Chain A
């Protein structure tokens, strides 16, 4: 095989793995979410299909697949059809530059489950999360339904506002790592857990966590789908597989921000315990630490959903613009000054 063909093959395999894992993760997540929410509310949740109801996602999939495709008469046909696809596509785009787990040796080369390790990784993620608005806006507009439109507008305004805070929270990490590459940022956190960015950049972590929750429109920031006010928001008119696609996009976004959280703030695949062996019997232990962190924070998102009520819309905007962004901006300034005065500083 020529080097180019080999490179293409490797990338293709990576894509298959990542997308497959995400789709699997999506279906498992729906089940986990429903079960854990149920327990938090003293219910049982879906427990009929398979052991512990684990086959529930498959049953859901089959059901959605065979449901009738409904489209409002007054909808804008092509936009209505395109919106879920756009939503999933933009959600998947962001996953391309994220590393899933540590680099490891296999087949005589160093591999990492990361489709593209680009120089401006974080900037790219920032750019494509901005695109996430499109699926929502298109869906909301195309249905020609007032609730949908309101949901779409709410959602885009919300994503727009919190994206700024989200981007701000990364600035100090980029500064400290002197790089936009996610792998570089993860590697600055090697060693003990006190090197983790959650310790060093604690305010940035708070801002990121809140902004990310809002960005993926999870409770308490799920205004776009506030069912007590606007039915189901932008996807009111969607049914069957198109509805499933939109759900999928939302879960993929959630997984993306969680993986980023683990990678950027919690040391990624670094154990946080000095002297911990790199691998056990040839298996890189990094995957274990990484997986545990990701799983934990996915659970935190569900936990939040089971615990918190929803914001009011004006509170949401107030919080985003008047609290989160100023806090993030002040932290950037503070860190920059500290960085120069106390340690490191520009080279």
Chain B
């Protein structure tokens, strides 16, 4: 194994293990904290794949934004951070079987498929992403801004009290 392989396994393990904690932790707040490490692991994997811009954005948006909001919600919501979460025991068996089945199928698909790969040296991606956003993917870029506008309107609409409307 090369050094990159070791790093990959470190990140992959961190991602998967903390992901499991997110699912199985019985306190919402621990789930949220574990999610932090999942996001970090994913960001690490992006770095390993040479996607520097994406990695920084992942940290910025998910760790610095979404997760903080999540924690905010958990902490501000009365009594929710002491709440013990547990799904019903009766669903444990079937759930495990289905999850295991899906895992086997998808892992198998990922392993046996002959993926067409393009060998490429890692290079800074920021410039290229900027060019694509304002070139080939201009419409998607603009549509995303409309989507964000709609999300903003929606959030404001939902949060506002009825009498202010």
Contacts and interface: CB of A to CB of B under 8 A. Distances in A.
A127 B60 contact: yes
A152 B56 CA distance: 25
Contacts of A131: 59, 63-64
Interface in A114-164: 118-120, 123-124, 126-131, 133-134, 137, 141, 149, 152-153, 156-157, 160, 163
Q: SS class of chain B's interface: helix, strand, loop or mixed?
A: helix
Interface string A172-203: 00000010100000000000000000000000
Interface string B71-89: 1100110000100000000
B65 A137 contact: no
Interface residues on A, range: 20 to 34
B53 A133 contact: no
B57 interface: yes
Interface of A: 79, 118-120, 123-124, 126-131, 133-134, 137, 141, 149, 152-153, 156-157, 160, 163, 178, 180
Given A79-B33, A123-B60, A160-B65, 16 more contacts: A118-B52, A119-B126, A120-B126, A124-B59, A126-B56, A127-B59, A127-B64, A131-B64, A137-B68, A137-B75, A141-B29, A141-B81, A153-B75, A156-B71, A156-B72, A157-B72
27 contacts: A118-B52, A119-B52, A119-B124, A119-B126, A120-B52, A120-B126, A123-B53, A123-B56, A123-B57, A123-B126, A124-B59, A126-B56, A126-B60, A127-B59, A127-B60, A128-B59, A130-B59, A130-B64, A130-B65, A134-B36, A137-B68, A137-B71, A137-B72, A141-B29, A141-B81, A156-B68, A157-B72
